[in-house]
Amino acid sequence: MTASYDVAAVGNAIVDVIAPAQDNFLAQEDLSKGAMMLIDDQRAGHLYSRMAAGVEASGGSAGNTVAGVASLGGRAAYIGKIAEDGLGKVFLHDIRAQGVHFDPTPLTGGPGTGRCLINVTPDGQRTMCTCLGAASLLTPADVDPEIVRNAAIVYLEGYLFDPDDARHAFAKAARIARDAGRKIALTLSDAFVVERHRPALLAFIDSEIDIVFANEAEVTALFQTTDFDTAASLLAARVRTACVTRGDRGSVIYTDGAAEFVPAAPARQVLDTTGAGDQYAAGVMFGLARGLAPATCGRLGSLAAAEVIDHYGPRPQTSLKSLATEAGLI
C-alpha cells in the first residue's frame, strides 16, 4: 500500500524558550553545556527567573523534524501530548501551519504543555532544561494506528525513553509499523538519555529499528567507547541504516554496512545550533522515503541543518524545498 505520509513522528511536544547566555551562567546554574536535562516545575521557575529575555517558539525534537519534512515538500504527521493551555495552542498552531497533520487529545486538569529553557552561548551551542509537563503523559492510546500504518517511515524520539507510558507508546507504534511493512527510525536524542537507558535502547534497536540517528557523543555513549570509528562501526553492524553526525565535520551514512561520507553544508553564520540534528534527520528521512540515494539523503540533511543554525529557533524559516531545488538535490 502506498504511504500517505513520508514520515510520522512520535515525540515530546515542547515549546522552547530561547535566550542568549554567557558561559559563566551555565557554571553558576550547574548546567552541562550542550546537554538536555530534565527539570521539575520548581527548578524551571528558578532558572527562568535568572535567564535573559527570550523568545518562545514551538520545538520538540521530533516536532522540529516533521516541520522540516513538510518544509521540504514532504507529507508529515505528528503524535505527541499537549495540554489544553496557551502553550499547547501555540504548539498546535505552529505545527499545523507548517502543513503537518496533528490531531491530539489535549490533556486537561494535569500539568501544562511541556517547555524547554534553552540557553544559547556565544559559540552557538544550546544547553537545554526541559520541564516535560503534559508531554511525558503520552500513552499508547495517543498513538493512532491509521497514522502509523500510513507512513513510509515512523520516527521515534529517544527522549521518550524516559517516561514509562511513552515507552509503551513507542512499542505500540513500532508493532503497528512492523505489521504494515513500514520502516522504523529512532534518534538517540542525547548522550545522557543513552546513559540512562543503554541496555533497553540496544534491545529496542536490535528488535525493532531500521534506521538510527546519532551524534558523536550519543554513539560513543551507546557502545561505551571513546573511539568514534569503533562506535559507528558497531552501530552500522546492527541496523540497516545508521546516520552518525559530527557537527561541522559532516556525517556518515552507513547502508548495510557501506559508508557514505557527507560534508556539512556551509552556514551563513552559526547563531544557534538548536534543531540542527532534528533538521538533519528531516532531510535524510525525506530522501529515504522518496527512494533517493544515501549520498543525496545526506546532502539534504546537511542543507536542512545549515538553514536552521543561522537563526534563533529550531525550525526552518526558509522553504527547504526551494533551497533543495536550488541546490539541485530534488
Q: Does 46 bind a second copy (CB under 8 A)?
A: no
Tell the smallest beta-carbon distance from residue 274 to a second copy (Å). 12
Return the residue of 4, 20, 180, 270 that touches a second copy, per CB under 8 A: 20
Return the residue of 23, 29, 56, 165 that touches a second copy, per CB under 8 A: 56
Q: Does 308 bind a second copy (CB under 8 A)?
A: no
Tell the smallest beta-carbon distance from residue 91 to a second copy (Å). 10
Does residue 260 contact residue 253 with C-beta atoms inside 8 Å? yes
Q: Does 220 bind a second copy (CB under 8 A)?
A: no
Q: Does 110 bind a second copy (CB under 8 A)?
A: no
Comparing CA positions, the residue from 9, 72, 66 lying closest to residue 287 is 72
Q: Does 97 bind a second copy (CB under 8 A)?
A: yes
Determine the Cα–Cα distance for residues 293 and 299; give it in Å rounded to an integer: 10
Q: Which amino acid is at 61?
A: S
Return the residue of 128, 315, 320, 324 that touches a second copy, per CB under 8 A: 315
Which C-beta is closer to a second copy: that of 113 or that of 302?
113
Which C-beta is closer to a second copy: that of 6 or that of 94?
94
Determine the Cα–Cα distance for residues 292 and 310; give it in Å rounded to an integer: 27
Return the residue of 7, 95, 107, 166 that touches a second copy, per CB under 8 A: 95
Which C-beta is closer to a second copy: that of 58 or that of 150?
58
Return the residue of 2, 30, 42, 53 that touches a second copy, per CB under 8 A: 53
Residues sharing a CB contact under 8 Å with residue 5, sequence separation 6 or more, in sequence order: 75, 76, 77, 101, 147, 150, 151, 152
Comparing CA positions, the residue from 105, 121, 123, 18 lying closest to residue 64 is 18
Q: Does 322 bind a second copy (CB under 8 A)?
A: no
Radius of gyration (C-alpha) of the chain in whole angstroms: 18
**Total number of residues binding a second copy (CB under 8 A)?**
28
Of 257-286, binders to a second copy (CB under 8 A) are: none
Tell the smallest beta-carbon distance from residue 89 to a second copy (Å). 8
Which C-beta is closer to a second copy: that of 19 or that of 234?
19
Determine the Cα–Cα distance for residues 188 and 173; give it in Å rounded to an integer: 17
Tell the smallest beta-carbon distance from residue 311 to a second copy (Å). 8
Of 172-201, binders to a second copy (CB under 8 A) are: none
- Side by side, the strands of the sheet bearing 251-255 are 76-79, 5-10, 151-157, 183-187, 211-215, 241-245, 251-255, 258-262
Which C-beta is closer to a second copy: that of 91 or that of 155?
91
Element (H, E) at 56: strand 55-58
- Residue that the C-alpha cell 548495510 belongs to: 256
Q: Does 226 bind a second copy (CB under 8 A)?
A: no
Residues sharing a CB contact under 8 Å with residue 264, sequence separation 6 or more, in sequence order: 247, 248, 249, 250, 251, 302, 305, 306
Q: Does 87 bind a second copy (CB under 8 A)?
A: yes
Determine the Cα–Cα distance for residues 109 and 52; give it in Å rounded to an integer: 31
Q: Does 313 bind a second copy (CB under 8 A)?
A: yes
Determine the Cα–Cα distance for residues 244 and 91; give it in Å rounded to an integer: 29
* Residue numbers at the binding site for a second copy (CB under 8 A): 19-20, 48-49, 51-58, 67, 85-87, 90, 93-95, 97-98, 112, 311-313, 315, 317
